[in-house]
Structure 1
Amino acid sequence: MSQTQITALIPLRGGSKSIPDKNIKTLADRPLCAWVLKAACDCDAIGSVYVSTDSDKIRQVVEGLGLPVTVIDRPQQLAQDHSSTEDVMMHFASVVPFETLVTIQATSPLLEGRDLDKALKLFEAGSYDSMLSAVRLKRFFWNDDFTPVNYDPLHRPRRQVFDGILMENGAFYVTTRRMLETSKCRLGGKTAVYEMGEHTAVEIDEPEDWVLVERVLQKRGLR
């Protein structure tokens, strides 16, 4: 798979209820969106990086970062509270040519370019149709009806030998154009999981998440 066939898309909507201007609010030492934009630009396998936004303010911030990123306008009807990521992906597919799309969410600033490079090598090697990023949680989960999800209480495993359970961390999704246009979904067909470190499990949706991720970034010496 050549570099020119792989395109990254970062959807950045202007409206945010829980954290105003979330996508461009400063996290540690840069706007939130800058973390994943840098990760995408650092990935050798990605040929081009795009932002889809309905916000002039976001456009100005992104263009001021000095990164090789193209900003496209998102139609207002695709920037509503009920609009889905798939809506944005389908619109993007109608205006930008690509063979493989890497959709990256700004709410996962702990993503790094090397994660994307490793994931895309796995994606190509396995001839997959789609891929999601996930973390392995070695926790014991229960259903609302008080039945265990992923272990037998009568044979409680030790953490060292417990496989745990994979949870989407929302950092990125990889989809071929063919699969996206056929299923109109980010996932489908032969699907792979790229496992990331447990510290990447946090997505920034609430103010508490912001504080937690900022501490992680500072502890890891930023990037």
Structure 2
Amino acid sequence: MKKIIALLPMRAGSQRVINKNTRKINGKYLYEFVLEKLIKSDLISLILINTDISQVKQKYHNNNKIRLIERSEKLKGNCDINLVIADSIKDFEADLFIQTHVTNPLYKLETLKRAIKYYFDNINTYDSLFGVTRIYKRFWYEGAIPVNHQIESEPTTQNLTPYFEENSCFYLFSKNSFLKKNNRIGDKPKLFEIPKEESWDIDEEEDLIILEKLLSI
């Protein structure tokens, strides 16, 4: 059986949404939505939580599937996520690392399973994989300059060349791939499409309000 380690970094501070990771949504802490999926998955061997949140450390210090990593002072600010990944995986070996975010609570475990299968089935073609959302929209640069369409011709949006948004749901990579560039996205990444309804990302206060409504449907 493949050894797969999930990385779920959580920091106490948040610039745009105060105490984002520990906010309660419909009776659950935000971090529980993703963490419960990872604990439930029989494909995940171990979960590494790099954190400085006391509540999380107290709640999960006896869970055999979780290893808590004390977040160092230099990583407590708004730093590059790849520095957090490097600090998390330095003492661990696995066939695959999956880095995911508390702030993407809606993706399904089945979607993650499909991504894992695709990664291993195509390991000789791609060295990493990350979640994206396909977007058919008219984009503009500041200054009213069209990005992906012509003002003279306005095709329907479904006929536009699609753009792919990096949605942050999950990133799959090997340790070797990561160490080549110190980056979760390797030299030969696969853009893995995730359904729009699973790709919700908590980045602003309004996103939490919308999430509550989505979970109530």
Query: What TM-score do the two structures reach when normalised by structure 1?
Result: 0.87
Q: Using the alignment, how far apart are the partners of 1:14 and 1:134 within structure 2?
A: 27
Q: Using the alignment, how far apart are the partners of 2:64 and 2:150 within structure 1?
A: 50
Match of 1:116 in 2: 112
Q: Is the 8 A contact 1:34 1:62 kept in 2?
A: no
For the aligned residue pairs, the C-alpha RMSD in angstroms reads 2.1
Q: CA deviation at 1:61?
A: 3.9
Q: More deviation in 91-100 or 53-62?
A: 53-62
Q: Which amino acid aligns with 2:103?
A: T
Q: Using the alignment, how far apart are the partners of 1:163 and 1:29 within structure 2?
A: 41
From 11, 17, 20, the equivalent of 1:19 is 17
Q: Which amino acid aligns with 1:32?
A: L
Match of 2:52 in 1: 54
Q: What do residues 64-122 of structure 1 show as CA deviations (whole Å, max 9, x unaligned)?
A: 9x7943322121222122x2210111011212222321000111111221111011111
Tell me: CA distance 1:109–1:49, structure 2 relative to 1, closer, same or farther (3 Å).
same
Q: Using the alignment, how far apart are the partners of 2:60 and 2:214 within structure 1?
A: 24
Q: Which amino acid aligns with 2:170?
A: F
Q: Which amino acid aligns with 1:132?
A: F
Is the helix fraction higher in 1 or 2? Answer: 1
Matched, 1:91 2:87: yes
Q: Which amino acid aligns with 2:91?
A: V
Q: Using the alignment, how far apart are the partners of 1:61 and 1:205 within structure 2?
A: 25
Q: What do residues 43-65 of structure 1 show as CA deviations (whole Å, max 9, x unaligned)?
A: 3432222211022223124459x
Q: Using the alignment, how far apart are the partners of 1:201 and 1:150 within structure 2?
A: 23
Match of 1:191 in 2: 189
Q: Using the alignment, how far apart are the partners of 2:186 and 2:131 within structure 1?
A: 14
* Corresponding pairs, count: 215
- Structure 2 unaligned regions, length at least 5: none
Q: Is the 8 A contact 1:14 1:58 kept in 2?
A: no
Percent identity reads 25
Q: Is the 8 A contact 1:19 1:207 kept in 2?
A: yes
Q: Is the 8 A contact 2:7 2:47 kept in 1?
A: yes
Extract structure 1 runs of 4+ deviating beyond 6 A: none
Q: Using the alignment, how far apart are the partners of 1:182 and 1:172 within structure 2?
A: 20
Q: Is the 8 A contact 2:130 2:191 kept in 1?
A: yes
Q: Which amino acid aligns with 2:2?
A: Q
Tell me: CA distance 1:28–1:67, structure 2 relative to 1, closer, same or farther (3 Å).
farther
Q: Is the 8 A contact 1:8 1:102 kept in 2?
A: yes
Q: What do residues 166-206 of structure 1 show as CA deviations (whole Å, max 9, x unaligned)?
A: 10111111111101111001112110011112234432122
Q: What do residues 9-45 of structure 1 show as CA deviations (whole Å, max 9, x unaligned)?
A: 0000011233332212111221101111122233343
The equivalences for 1:32-181 within 5 A come to 32-63=30-61, 68-81=65-78, 83-127=79-123, 128-181=126-179
Q: Is the 8 A contact 1:23 1:106 kept in 2?
A: yes
Q: Which amino acid aligns with 1:179?
A: S
Matched, 1:3 2:18: no
SS of residue paired to 2:192:
strand
Q: Using the alignment, how far apart are the partners of 2:65 and 2:39 within structure 1?
A: 7
Matched, 1:206 2:204: yes
Q: Which amino acid aligns with 1:182?
A: K
